[in-house]
Amino acid sequence: MSNPSYLDAVSVTKNYSDDKESGVNNIILSIKQGKITAIVGESGSGKSTLLKLLYGLLSPEEGEVFFKGDRVIGPEEKLIPGHDRMKMVTQHTDDLNLFATVWQNVASLLPNTDLKYKETATAAALKQLKVYELKDQRVTDLSGGEKQRVAIAKALITKPEVLFLDEPFNQVDASFREGLQQNIRNIVKETGLTVVLVSHDPAEVLSMADDLIVLKQGEIVEAGTPEELYQNPGMLYTAQILAHCSVLTNQEAKVCGITAQRGTVAINPENVEIANTWGKKKDWTVVQVLFKGFFEDVIVEKEDVKLRVLNLELNKYPVGTPVSIRIKKHFEYGQWK
């Protein structure tokens, strides 16, 4: 390679059958060291396949993966599949021993040649993931979120350089999830760990990732920082993954006062202003209010066109209220979605 960087996929293809739509095709990417890279895409777009290729759990049919310039070898060439300097945690937590304690699960990966180190490193890993207090409990007695914390502590105890997280927080309650995300960001900052994360949750991806890679039908269709892709998604597909946008035809967009040059219009909820003050034409009607905690998603309708609006003034616009709206920003897309 002309310019080896950290973790690179060079024209990597892996199809599970003759079907080009299974697996991934011609993936070219560079994962940056010490950063969190998130891979997003609809279900079946090839996210897990790509992680397995980067980690060495699958061999590419074409192309190669390089870690610091050395080829990552696949399971056929290696006794224990997976690169030695990398670890992966999935949502299944299947490599935990449910009937052993938290401490035993994590400590068991370290050799007995240096018992003092084993003791301090295990304690440090459990503290880092905030499960030290649970150290004497059996894993089977823990909540889903606690099990995930133990699985990550176990993955990190041998100090891998790269941690792959394949939708690891799916089973974790929203309230615990944020703490865990924060802990992982801190670990990355403090230790220089490189994280490659697959996630379905737009909020998680946007708040955690330094870089985003968007996969569609096994191909990378867009990449950039979360800010770049959120503020200016090149594809409707990306806009829909990163925000609960309303998607309208350009005819429907006219109802909102938008004259679009292209066929499809996407409007993010935070880009719609809502009001019911006197003087403005209140030609939209609130048809649904979705309580979201400190905000609401208010669905408004006019001439069969529905729009999702972010509203911070709770209970101000009950169902049936006539309102006026103003759209501050929208995106336009062509036929290709």
Residue pair 83/67 in contact by the 8 Å Cβ criterion: yes
Q: Minimum CB separation from Mg ion for residue 166, in Å? A: 6
Interface with Mg ion, residue 90, by CB under 5 A = no
Q: Minimum CB separation from ligand ADP for residue 210, in Å? A: 21
22's contact among ligand ADP, Mg ion, none, with CB below 5 to 8 A by partner kind, is ligand ADP
How many residues in total does the chain contain?
337
Measured distance CA(7)–CA(208) in Å, rounded: 19
Interface with Mg ion, residue 45, by CB under 5 A = no
Which listed range, 15-23, 77-85, 88-96, 304-312, lies at the site for ligand ADP (CB under 6 A)? Answer: 15-23
Interface with Mg ion, residue 238, by CB under 5 A = no
Interface with Mg ion, residue 148, by CB under 5 A = no
Measured distance CA(100)–CA(109) in Å, rounded: 13
Measured distance CA(82)–CA(84) in Å, rounded: 6
Interface with ligand ADP, residue 23, by CB under 6 A = yes
Q: Which of 168, 146, 155, 167 lies closest to 102 in space, CA to CA?
A: 146
Q: Residue 16 or 117: which CB sits closer to ligand ADP?
A: 16
Which residues have a Cβ under 8 Å from the Cβ of 105 and sit 6 or more positions away?
96, 97, 139, 150, 154
Residues 25-44 that bind ligand ADP (CB under 6 A): 41, 43-44
Q: Residue 49 or 128: which CB sits closer to ligand ADP?
A: 49
Q: Residue 45 or 311: which CB sits closer to ligand ADP?
A: 45
Q: Minimum CB separation from Mg ion for residue 291, in Å? A: 30
Which listed range, 25-33, 46-54, 203-211, 284-292, lies at the site for ligand ADP (CB under 6 A)? Answer: 46-54
Interface with Mg ion, residue 49, by CB under 5 A = no
Among 37, 48, 59, 264, binds Mg ion (CB under 5 A): 48
Q: Residue 199 or 271: which CB sits closer to Mg ion?
A: 199
Among 22, 26, 250, 285, binds ligand ADP (CB under 6 A): 22
Among 25, 29, 38, 46, binds ligand ADP (CB under 6 A): 46
Q: Residue 45 or 148: which CB sits closer to ligand ADP?
A: 45
Q: Residue 93 or 268: which CB sits closer to Mg ion?
A: 93
Measure the N-to-C terminal CA separation of the chain; round to a whole number of Å. 34
Q: Minimum CB separation from ligand ADP for residue 62, in Å? A: 16
Measured distance CA(183)–CA(252) in Å, rounded: 44
Q: Residue 50 or 229: which CB sits closer to Mg ion?
A: 50
128's contact among ligand ADP, Mg ion, none, with CB below 5 to 8 A by partner kind, is none
Q: Contact residues for ligand ADP (CB under 6 A)? A: 16, 22-23, 41, 43-49
Q: Contact residues for Mg ion (CB under 5 A)? A: 47-48
